Structure 1
Amino acid sequence: MRKLASLAEPWIIRPTAVSAPGRRTLGSIVTKLCSSIHSGALHLPGREQVIWRTRTAVLVALIKFVHVASICLWAAGLVSLPGLYVQRSTVANRDALHRLQKIVRFSYVNVISPAAFIAVLSGIVLIFLRQVYAPWFSVKLLFVASLVILHVLTGLVIIRIFREGEGYPVWRFLVATIVTSGIVVTIFVIVLAKPDIDVAVADGLFKPGGLRSLIQRLSPWPIP
């Protein structure tokens, strides 16, 4: 028991405000583990090292598959929902309206929103596993954030559109479909092409703390 306690001691996270020298925090453990997975620096001998690298590659491929599949489902849902909204003005009776409302809400709550959550979560995991910090990746995150904003706006539309006297004009259907499709296509193009972006144009925006420095220069109020 003492031997087990001595082995577990370095990994115990103490509830202290400041970590003492030599103590491991949860953040340092995750960072070191992800760095080890990325570089294969677990110092395993020969055959075990090959097995570890193979299993890691399979794990990363599986998470990539889940990430891509969830993004496709998420994007397809956001693109198709405006086509359901526009039918709001053409329903024949109240029963058809309730049926359309159930379809829209089920799609948003039970299919599209879980797919969005899985896409974002698996993307965060891949950031640590693959350690991708290139400028093109920051641009991709910008468009993913735009997709998240569209997702939230879609939920607000669902709340409002089925009220009495509400509708969804065709021009909004066209604008929503074109904008959403454009964002999705841009994300896939950036991921597949991985374009070289001159970071000098952004004046250090892609460096750690770059966004904060940019906001400090633009804000009329002092930002600590």
Structure 2
Amino acid sequence: MIPWLDGIIPHLKVLHIAALALWCGGLFALPLMLARHDPAIGQADYARIRQATHYGYTLLVTPSAVIAIASGTLLIFLRDVFVAWMFAKLVVVALLVAFHGWVGHTLVTVAETEGAHQTPAPLGPTLILLAPVLAILLLVLAKPELGEIPVPGWLREPRGAQLPFDVPRR
């Protein structure tokens, strides 16, 4: 490993954890804010809560997600963490990304569609989000030995064709 990269890794971990905390915290807060989208609260308050959710999503939560994913990806390659628990974590992170997309879709639907909107009650999304967040914490902190990822045999055997690129050997 390149010596100066060893000094970057702790700072990159702090950046990753901070961005992840902002991202997950925002994903917990946004459904609560969406539940406040009710035109009956008055035009000024309704406009303020719509702006707060829009700017929170676009200026805080989404950039935090991008930073968390980018710094995490960089850490995987710098630390050479190609193990089963990491791949399981990446699957769970994909669930966070899907939830993030659902929140964005709901925000756009509320903001762009005319008529009355029925935003989801915050309890359901909060419980749904709790599962991947806890799974990520469990996988990262416990680093369980998951063994090999089960894949079909045909994925493990060469098919007699040459790849269009060279595969590095260890």
State the partner residue of 2:91.
142
Per-residue CA deviation, residues 113-152 of structure 1 (Å, 9 max, x unaligned), is 0000001111111111001011000000000011111111
State yes or no: 1:168 paired with 2:119.
yes
Matched residue count: 153
**Which of 94, 112, 125 is matched with 2:61 structurally?**
112
State the partner residue of 2:45.
96
Query: Aligned partner of 1:192: which letter?
Result: L
Are the counterparts in 1 of residues 39 and 46 from structure 2 also a CA contact under 8 Å? no
Listed as ranges, the matches of 1:69-218 within 5 Å are 69-89=18-38, 91-162=40-111, 163=113, 164-170=115-121, 173-199=122-148, 202-203=150-151
The TM-score, its normalising length taken from structure 2, stands at 0.83
Shift of 1:153: 1.1
Task: Report which of the two structures shows the higher radius of gyration computed on alpha carbons.
Answer: 1
Per-residue CA deviation, residues 58-93 of structure 1 (Å, 9 max, x unaligned), is 210000110011011000000111101111137421
Over the aligned positions, Cα root-mean-square deviation in angstroms equals: 1.9
Kindly indicate whether structure 1 or structure 2 has the higher relative contact order, using CA contacts under 8 Å at least 6 residues apart: 2
The TM-score, its normalising length taken from structure 1, stands at 0.64
Query: Aligned partner of 2:48: which letter?
Result: R
Q: Could you list the structure 1 runs, at least 4 aligned residues long, displaced by more than 4 angstroms after superposition.
A: none
Shift of 1:95: 1.5
Query: Aligned partner of 1:166: which letter?
Result: H
Runs of at least 5 residues in structure 2 that lack an aligned partner in the other structure: 157-170
